[in-house]
C-alpha cells in the first residue's frame, strides 16, 4: 500500500520525510517522491524504483531546503510506476501539492469535468484529480477548498496537502485509508503508520473519517466536514522503535517468526487470571454469551485462515454454529443474519478495506461486532463494537507470521471462554486446555530449533513449480496457511486441498516428485490421512508429513516427517504452522527473493 508522510517544524523537512518513508517501505511500493516549501515555492523530486534512488537524487534531502513538506511511497493502482505518476502531484501553477493513499473511485468523471474546464493532466493517476480539484475550489481558504473536494470525491483517501499561500501549514484528511498525526517537540507530523514518526514522537492522534487536520510548527487543529473545530485526545505509543527494526536478522519475516513465542505469550497470559480466562475488552455479559445463536468470522488472507481453524474450535468446544467468510465475499452477498449473531472480524493491520467494509455491513444491520486486531487505534479497532487486541507488536514483513499465531490464541481463548460460560465443557476440560495453552510458547520455541533441517529440505525445492498442501479438518485450515506462506514469498504455485477431496479431480496433477505436504495432527483422522498419503505417493509424489510426536506410523507412508510436540488437537495449528513458515521462508531466501516485500503485495490492502 502507499505510504504518506508530512512534517512541519524547526528542522529541515526533507531528511525527516525520507527517513519516514524508509520506515514505510514494508507497505510495498514502486516509486517515491517528496515536496518541500523552500521559502519561495514548493520544490518537488520524485522517482520510480526504491527509496535509495530518491535519496541519491535529493542528496539525502539537501537539495530540498525548507521546514515543511510531504512525501509518498506509491504502490501503483491507477497508472504504471513512472516518475510522472509518482506522488506528490501539483495543480497547474504548482501552488498546491498533494500525496494520497487510497483510490478515488469517481476520478474519471471528475477528470473529464476538469478537462472540460481547461485543466490539463500530465499523469494517469486518480490522485492528480485531487490536485486540480483543490485548485478549482481554492479561493484563499484551504479548509473550505478541502471540504468542497471531500463532497465531490468517492472512494478512499489519506491525504497530505501543501498550499504555497500557507507555507506555515500542512493539511491532512482521511477516509478509510489510515492516517495518524504526531505531535513532537521539534514539529508536527502526518503519516500512514506509527513506525514513520516513532523516532520523533510517541504522542499520536488517530484521525477519524473525514476529519481534517491543520498542522503548524507548534499547533494542531482538527475539524469535521462542517468546518467545526473538534477536540481530540492523543494516544501514547508504548512499543519502541527496535520492535520495528530488524535487530540483526536478514529479514523481518525471520525475526517475526522467532518473535512468536513472546507474541503468543503476550497475547495469552494477560487474559489468564486466577485459573480462569478474563477478556475484559469483550464487552459481553455471560447472559449475552449464552444467548449467542451464531458466529460469523470474517477476514482476508491469513486472518481468514485462522477463522477456518477457529470454526472447528468454536463448534467443537462451545457448540455454536460458525460461518467463516472471506470479507471480499461477505460484504456483497447480502448475508442473512439471525437474532443474537456475533460477527468477529480478524485483521492484523485493522485497515484492510474489505474487512473494514464487512464490519460496517454487519454494523449497519445492527449485528454485534468484535474485532481481533493487532494495530492499536486502527480503523477496525475503533469501529468494531468491541476489540480484542493481539499483542504481537508491529509486524513489518508482508507475510504474516506472529500476528497469525496471536490471532489463533485470541480465537482459542474466546472459544474456551464461551464453552465454559455455556457449560459445554467441565472444569477438568477447562483446566486441561489452559494447561495446554500455557505450553504453546515453549513448544513453538522448541520447533524453531528445527530451522536448519527445514532449510536443508527447502533448498531441494527451489526449482519446483507446484506444491500441494493437504489435510483434513483443522489440518485443512493449516494447509491453507502453509500454501499461502509458500506462494506469496517464493512465487511457487501451491494449493491447499482437503485431503479427502483430492481424488475428485485434482489428484490428476500429481506426478513424479510432486511435493505434497500432508498435515497429520488430528488423531481421529490419522488413518484417513495415511491413506490419502498413500494415494499421492503411488502416483509419484514426494510427501513431507507434519505430524504429532508419537505417530511414527506415518513414517511408513511419508518420505520426510516433521514432528510436533503433543498438544490439544484444537491447538495443533499453532505448532504445525511453524515448520511451514520456516519452509516458505527458506525457499524464498534460497531463490534470492525479497522475502519481506514480495512482488505485487502490500502489507495492508487498504484498497478493494
Number of shown-chain residues binding ligand AGP (CB under 6 A): 16
Specify burial of residue 526 (Cβ count, 10 A radius: 0-12, 13-18, 19+).
middle
Buried b (16+ CB within 10 A) or exposed e, 199-225: ebbbebbbbbbbbbbbbbbeeeebbee
Cis amide leading into 88 (omega within 30): yes
> Known catalytic residues?
2, 603
- By C-alpha distance, which of 476, 574, 464 is closest to 513? 464
| Of 347 and 490, CB closest to ligand AGP | 347
Binding mask 399-438 for ligand AGP (x = CB under 6 A): xx--------------------------------------
Strand partners, 347: 373
CB of 538 to ligand AGP, least distance (A): 33
394 near ligand AGP, rule: CB under 6 A: no
Q: Pick the piece of the chain touching ligand AGP (CB under 6 A) from 95-103, 140-148, 155-163, 347-355.
A: 347-355
Strand 219-223 versus strand 212-216 pairing type: antiparallel
Among 127, 349, 490, 532, binds ligand AGP (CB under 6 A): 349
Helix (H) or strand (E) run with residue 108 in it: helix 107-116
Give the residue with the Cβ less far from ligand AGP, 28 or 61. 28
How many Å apart are CA 323 and CA 57, to the nearest integer? 52
3-state secondary structure 447-499: HHCCHHHHHHHHHHHCCCCEEEEEECCHHHHHHHHHHHHHHHHHCCEEEEEEH
Give least dist CB 572 to ligand AGP, A: 20
**Nearest by Cα to 119 from 85, 88, 89:** 89
Beta strand 203-206 with 235-236 is antiparallel
Handedness of CA 177, 350, 221, 65 (dihedral sign): negative
If one asks whether residue 328 binds ligand AGP (CB under 6 A), the answer comes out as: no
Cβ closer to ligand AGP: 94 or 593?
593
Residue number with CB closer to ligand AGP (67 or 412): 412
Shorter beta-carbon distance to ligand AGP: residue 64 or 372: 372
Provide the minimum distance between the beta carbon of 236 and ligand AGP in the complex, in angstroms, as a whole number. Answer: 23
Q: How many residues does the chain have?
A: 608
Min dist CB 485 to ligand AGP, Å, is 7
Task: Give the phi and the psi of residue 204 in degrees, each rounded to 5.
Answer: -125, 155
User: What character string, x for contact with ligand AGP (CB under 6 A) and - otherwise, covers 256-295?
Assistant: ----------------------------------------
- Select the residue interacting with ligand AGP from 301, 335, 441, 569 (CB under 6 A): 301
**491, 492, 498, 499: CA torsion to nearest 10:** -160
Out of 13, 170, 257, 300, the residue judged to bind ligand AGP by CB under 6 A: 300
Binding string, residues 478-517; x marks residues near ligand AGP by CB under 6 A: ------x---x-----------------------------
End-to-end C-alpha distance for the chain, whole angstroms: 11
* Residue 73 lies near ligand AGP (rule: CB under 6 A): no
Stretch that binds ligand AGP, among 33-41, 343-351, 383-391, 459-467 (CB under 6 A): 343-351
Which listed range, 4-12, 28-36, 299-307, 421-429, lies at the site for ligand AGP (CB under 6 A)?
299-307
Beta bridge partners of 346: 372
Output the smallest distance, CB 247 to ligand AGP, in A. Answer: 21
Tell me which of 302, 341, 379, 568 binds ligand AGP, using CB under 6 A. Answer: 302
Minimum distance of ligand AGP from residue 578's CB (angstroms): 15
- Regarding 85 and contact with ligand AGP (CB under 6 A), the answer is no
Q: Which is nearer to ligand AGP, 237 or 486 (CB)?
A: 486
Least distance in angstroms from the C-beta of 224 to ligand AGP? 28
* Cβ atoms < 10 Å from Cβ of 143: 15
Among 355, 483, 490, 573, binds ligand AGP (CB under 6 A): 355
Nearest approach in angstroms of CB 191 to ligand AGP is 17
Biggest alpha carbon–alpha carbon distance for the chain: 79
Q: Which residue is nearest to ligand AGP (CB)?
A: 301
DSSP, collapsed to helix, strand or coil, labels residue 500 as helix
The residues, any chain, with a CB within 8 Å of residue 233's CB and separated by 6 or more, are 205
- Distances in Å between the Cα of 34 and the Cα atoms of 59, 71, 191 are 13, 4, 13
Give 111 or 597: the residue with its C-beta nearer to ligand AGP. 597
Among 348, 483, 532, 551, binds ligand AGP (CB under 6 A): 348
Q: Return the residue of 352, 379, 548, 606 that touches ligand AGP, per CB under 6 A.
A: 352
Choose among 177, 184, 169: nearest CA to 208.
Answer: 177
Q: For residues 342 and 484, which CB has a smaller minimum distance to ligand AGP in the complex?
A: 484
Q: Residue numbers of the site for ligand AGP (CB under 6 A)?
A: 300-303, 347-349, 352, 355, 398-400, 484, 488, 604-605
Amino acid at each position: 500500500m502507499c505510504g504518506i508522510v508530512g512534517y512541519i517544524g524547526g528542522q529541515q523537512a526533507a531528511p525527516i520525510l525520507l527517513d519516514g518513508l524508509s520506515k514505510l517501505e514494508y507497505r510495498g511500493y514502486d516509486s517515491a517522491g517528496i515536496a518541500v516549501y523552500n521559502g519561495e515555492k514548493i520544490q518537488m523530486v520524485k522517482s520510480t524504483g526504491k527509496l535509495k534512488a530518491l535519496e541519491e537524487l535529493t542528496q539525502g534531502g539537501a537539495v530540498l531546503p525548507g521546514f515543511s513538506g510531504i512525501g509518498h511511497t506509491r504502490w501503483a493502482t491507477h497508472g504504471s510506476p513512472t516518475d510522472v505518476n509518482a506522488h506528490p502531484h501539483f495543480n497547474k501553477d504548482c501552488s498546491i501539492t498533494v500525496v494520497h493513499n487510497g483510490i478515488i473511485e469517481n476520478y474519471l468523471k471528475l477528470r473529464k469535468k476538469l478537462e472540460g474546464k481547461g485543466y490539463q493532466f500530465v499523469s494517469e493517476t486518480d490522485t492528480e484529480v485531487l490536485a486540480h480539484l483543490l485548485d478549482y475550489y481554492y479561493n484563499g481558504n484551504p479548509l473550505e477548498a478541502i471540504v468542497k473536494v471531500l463532497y465531490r470525491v468517492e472512494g478512499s483517501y489519506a491525504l497530505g496537502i501543501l498550499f504555497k499561500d500557507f507555507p506555515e501549514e500542512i493539511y491532512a484528511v482521511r477516509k478509510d485509508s489510515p492516517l495518524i498525526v504526531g505531535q513532537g517537540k521539534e514539529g508536527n507530523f502526518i503519516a500512514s503508520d506509527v513506525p514513520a514518526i516513532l523516532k520523533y514522537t510517541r504522542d499520536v492522534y488517530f484521525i477519524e473519517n473525514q476529519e481534517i487536520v491543520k498542522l503548524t510548527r507548534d499547533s494542531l487543529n482538527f475539524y469535521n466536514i462542517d468546518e467545526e473545530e473538534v477536540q481530540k485526545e492523543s494516544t501514547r505509543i508504548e512499543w519502541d522503535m527496535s520492535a520495528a527494526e530488524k535487530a540483526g536478522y536478514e529479514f523481518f519475516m525471520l525475526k517475526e517468526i522467532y518473535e512468536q513465542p513472546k507474541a503468543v505469550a503476550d497475547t495469552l497470559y494477560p487474559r489468564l487470571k486466577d485459573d480462569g480466562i478474563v477478556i475484559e475488552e469483550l464487552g459481553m455479559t455471560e447472559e449475552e454469551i449464552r444467548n449467542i445463536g451464531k458466529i460469523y468470522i470474517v477476514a482476508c488472507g491469513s486472518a481468514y485462515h485462522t477463522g477456518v481453524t477457529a470454526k472447528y474450535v468454536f463448534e467443537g468446544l462451545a457448540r455454536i454454529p460458525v460461518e467463516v467468510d472471506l470479507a471480499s465475499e461477505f460484504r456483497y452477498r447480502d448475508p442473512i443474519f439471525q437474532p443474537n449473531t456475533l460477527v468477529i472480524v480478524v485483521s492484523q493491520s485493522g485497515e484492510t478495506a474489505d474487512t473494514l467494509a464487512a464490519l460496517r455491513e454487519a454494523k449497519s444491520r445492527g449485528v454485534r461486532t468484535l474485532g481481533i486486531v493487532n494495530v492499536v487505534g486502527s480503523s477496525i479497532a475503533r469501529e468494531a463494537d468491541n476489540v480484542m487486541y493481539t499483542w504481537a507488536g508491529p509486524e513489518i514483513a508482508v507475510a504474516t507470521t506472529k500476528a497469525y499465531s496471536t490471532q489463533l490464541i485470541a480465537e482459542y481463548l474466546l472459544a474456551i471462554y464461551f464453552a465454559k460460560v455455556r457449560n459445554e465443557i467441565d472444569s477438568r476440560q477447562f483446566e486441561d486446555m489452559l494447561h495446554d495453552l500455557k505450553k504453546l510458547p515453549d513448544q513453538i520455541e522448541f520447533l524453531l530449533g528445527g530451522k536448519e533441517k527445514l532449510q536443508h529440505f527447502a533448498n531441494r525445492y527451489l526449482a519446483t513449480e507446484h506444491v500441494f498442501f493437504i489435510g483434513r479438518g483443522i489440518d485443512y485450515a493449516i494447509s491453507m496457511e502453509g500454501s499461502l506462506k509458500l506462494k506469496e514469498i517464493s512465487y511457487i504455485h501451491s494449493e491447499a486441498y482437503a485431503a479427502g477431496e483430492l481424488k475428485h479431480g485434482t489428484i490428476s496433477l500429481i506426478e513424479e516428485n510432486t511435493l505434497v505436504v500432508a498435515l497429520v495432527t488430528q488423531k481421529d483422522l490419522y488413518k484417513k490421512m495415511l491413506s490419502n498419503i498413500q494415494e499421492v505417493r503411488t502416483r509419484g509424489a514426494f510427501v513431507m508429513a507434519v505430524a504429532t510426536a508419537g505417530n511414527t506410523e506415518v513414517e511408513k507412508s511419508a518420505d520426510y516427517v516433521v514432528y510436533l510436540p503433543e498438544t490439544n488437537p484444537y491447538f495443533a495449528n499453532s505448532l504445525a504452522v511453524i515448520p511451514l513458515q520456516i519452509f516458505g521462508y527458506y525457499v524464498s531466501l534460497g531463490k534470492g527473493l525479497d522475502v519481506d516485500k514480495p512482488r505485487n503485495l502490500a502489507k495492508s490492502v487498504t484498497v478493494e
